[in-house]
Amino acid sequence: MSEKKKKLAALWQAVQQNDAAKVTETVSGLDLSYEAGYSNACATALQHGQSGILETLLQAGYGFQFVSKFSGEKQREENERLARQLIKDAYGSPDAAALLPVLYKGNGTYGILNMQDFLNENSPVELIEACLKNKNAYSSFTTCIQNAGLLSTPALDFILTFSSEHDDADVAMARALITVAEKGDVDKAALLLAHGADPDFEGAEAFRKAAENGNQEIVDLFLPYVSLEEYGEKVATQLEYKNASPEIIQSIEAAIRRVGQKPADKTVAMAKPFAASQLQDDRFQLLDNSTMFEVQKMPDGSTLTTLFNFASRQQKNLLIRENEMSSPSMVIVSFDDLDGGVVDTLQKKFEALAKPAATEPPTTAESARRVNQFKSVLG
C-alpha cells in the first residue's frame, strides 16, 4: 500500500473514532483530493453528526475544493455537486443545526457556492445567524430575507432582529413587504411593519398590492402605517380603474376622510418639548398653551424677555432696563375679536413677567383707546 493510501486509511479511521487531534495530524501534508478521500471523509463525519470533525477537515483541507483531477469548468461543477450533496445530507440529519453552519463556514474558504445555496424554508436559525454575521458576504440580510424569511414566518421573525446591523435592511424589508402584501400574507406583513418596513416605498406599492388582493384584513393592517395624505387618493383611484373590491376602496376612502378631519394641533406638539426643557433650564417657561418665553439677565443689568407664539410662529423681544419701566410688547395674530379685556389681560401678564411697580389698572375708556390704536397702526 502506498504512503498516501496509508494516510487516507488512517484519516478514515480517525474520523470514525471522532478523534479530532488525529484527524488534524493525518490531514497535514496529505493531498486530500486523492481518490476522493477528502469528500468521503467529510461525508462520513457528517453522517455521524460529527460537526467538530467536519469543521477540522474543512479548516485543515481546502474548503469545498474536493477534486483536483479535473480542471476548469468541469472541476467547478464537480466541486459544486459534492458540496450540494453534503448540504442536502446535512438538512436530512438530526444534527442539521450544528452541521449546516460548519458547512457554510467551510465554503467561505474558496466560495464554491453562494449563500442562497444553503438557505431554504427549513433553514435552522443557527445557519441563518451564521449567514447574517458574515460581514464579508454581500447583501446577506437581503439574501436571508429572500431565501428563508419569505418562506418561513419564524425565520422571518428571527432575521428581522438583525435589521439594525445591516445597511441593506431598509430596502430589503420594503421589497419583502411588497411581496407578502401581494400574496396576502398577513402574518409576515405584520412582522415587517412592526420592525419598521416602509409601507410608502415606491409610492406605497405594498399598500396598493394589499388592496388589490381583496383581503380586507391586510388592508386594515396597512391603514395605520401608510401615508394616506400623500398616497391614499392615488391608490384609491388606481384601484377603481382596476375594478378592485368596492368595499376595499370604500374603507380606504373612509380612512382618508378621517385623516383629513384630524385637527393639526401643532401648538401642543411644539409645547411639549419646551415644557420638558423647563425642568432642565429655568429660563424657558410657558406663558400659556400658545406662548413660550425666555428671560435672560444681560451684563448691563437689563432683562431681555423673548416671547415666541407657536400658533403665529412670530417672535417678539421685550427689553427692560434696570430701574426703568417699559411698555410691554406683544404679538397679535388677529385683531377681529380684540377687545379691552384682552388688552388688560395681556398687560397683567407682562407686568407680572417684568415685575414692575404696581400701577393702576386702565379704565374701560383707556382700553378701548388702545384697541383702536392697535387697529389703526397694524390693521
Which residue bears the cell 446591523?
A: 165
The top-scoring range by mean pLDDT among 105-114, 200-209, 331-340, 359-368 is 200-209
Asked whether the beta carbons of 157 and 127 are under 8 A apart, the reply is no
Grid cell locating 21: 487531534
Mean pLDDT over 77-99 rounds to: 94
Q: What is the DSSP string of 268-319?
A: HHHHHHHHHHTTT-TTEEEEETTEEEEEEE-TTS-EEEEEEETTTTEEEEEE
| Whether pTM exceeds 0.75 | no
d(CA 15, CA 25): 12
Question: With 60 as the cut, is the pLDDT of residue 296 above it?
Answer: yes
- The confidence score (pLDDT) of residue 377 equals 45
Side-chain-side CA neighbours of 70 within 13 Å: the count stands at: 13
- The confidence score (pLDDT) of residue 269 equals 35
From the CB of residue 197, how many other CB atoms can be counted at a distance below 10 Å?
26
Average pLDDT over all residues of the chain: 78
- The confidence score (pLDDT) of residue 193 equals 96
